[in-house]
Amino acid sequence: MFSSTSLRSYLHLHFLVMIWGFTAIVGLMVTISPVALVFYRTLFAAAGLGFIIFFKQKTFKTDSADLIRMLAVGFVLSAHWMLFFASARISTASVCLAGMATTSLWTSLIEPLVSKKPVRLLEVGLGILAFAGLYVVFKFEFDHALGLALALASALLAAVFTVANSKLVQRISAYTITFYEMIGATAFSFVFLGISEWQGWTRGEPYIPAAKDWVWILFLALICTVYASTMATQLMKQFSAYLINLTINLEPVYGIALAFFFFGEKERMTEEFYLGTLLILLAVLLYPLLMRTTFGKRDRKIIEMKK
């Protein structure tokens, strides 16, 4: 399934997922509310991307229809991140990351609808396997139910975001896409921050960052967003949205290991939790193997029949 070039791209994708696995940890290290964190993250990310586009002489130009689409996807991305960080705050980084494993299941259902292609039973089956891993985790960790619910909603929005971007990147630069999505995300999070402060949803959490918060905010904006999100969008030219999101299922594996390193016993979970994450990992590893053996054989037979 993978040539030497695409293998390097696939390993690059795993590196990006490892970076994203660190984001839930960063969300626990800052003092500001999740909504404020998303606002500052996207604001600085938009500024950083604007700087890169200008000095690399890439284009800001896009037609009005695509501009509206990218801003709308930015709204979705902003809501995804808010739910993601809120899940980590309410439960733990490990619970939040494990909940994101359902992204592939949502994608296996959403992508065929958007692409008007038949649903692949293999993709649905592996998505269900990942979901089964999640069930094993929370059968024994149900005290984190609210955190799980927020993570599931965040995963659904992540699937929508990835499928939408897989269409946009076919005709628009990844830098341009990410730039306008960050503008949309900044606008949405700014408005929602005002509403949250007015309604008291932030539970008294500050919206002005402390001095130590700025390091982590810039890390989220420049490394996790400008670099990782742009590169991931670029990789969508080579891989399907489903493969991208199935690989993102490794985010809890990387993130849980990093969380235990940073927070120690606070992040230690039950044995069943780790069994569930192994099922998720199995779904990730089986995908390229089964695609090569099952669909690879089918495609070769089709080619031979056409000769």
Domains of the chain, by residue range, sit at 4-306
200's torsion region: left (phi>0), alpha (psi -120 to 50) or beta?
left
pLDDT at 69: 93
Report the C-alpha gap between 92 and 268 in whole angstroms.
10
- First vs last C-alpha separation in the chain: 22
Residue 27 half-sphere exposure, CB side, CA atoms within 13 Å? 30
- pTM of the complete model: 0.79
pLDDT at 279: 80
pLDDT at 266: 60
pLDDT at 110: 85
**Residues found in the chain:** 307
Residue type, 114: V
Give the model confidence (pLDDT) of 236-253 as tens digits: 778 876 677 677 767 777
Ranges of residues in the chain with a pLDDT under 50 are: 298-307
What SS3 class is residue 94?
helix
Instruction: Give the single-character DSSP code of 208.
Output: S
Rounded to the nearest angstrom, the gap between the alpha carbon of residue 252 and the centroid of all alpha carbons in its chain is 11
pLDDT at 60: 83
Report the C-alpha gap between 221 and 37 in whole angstroms.
10
Nearest alpha carbon to residue 28 among 77, 82, 85: 85
Residue type, 55: F
- Name the strand (E) or helix (H) holding 304: helix 296-306
- Name the strand (E) or helix (H) holding 247: helix 241-248
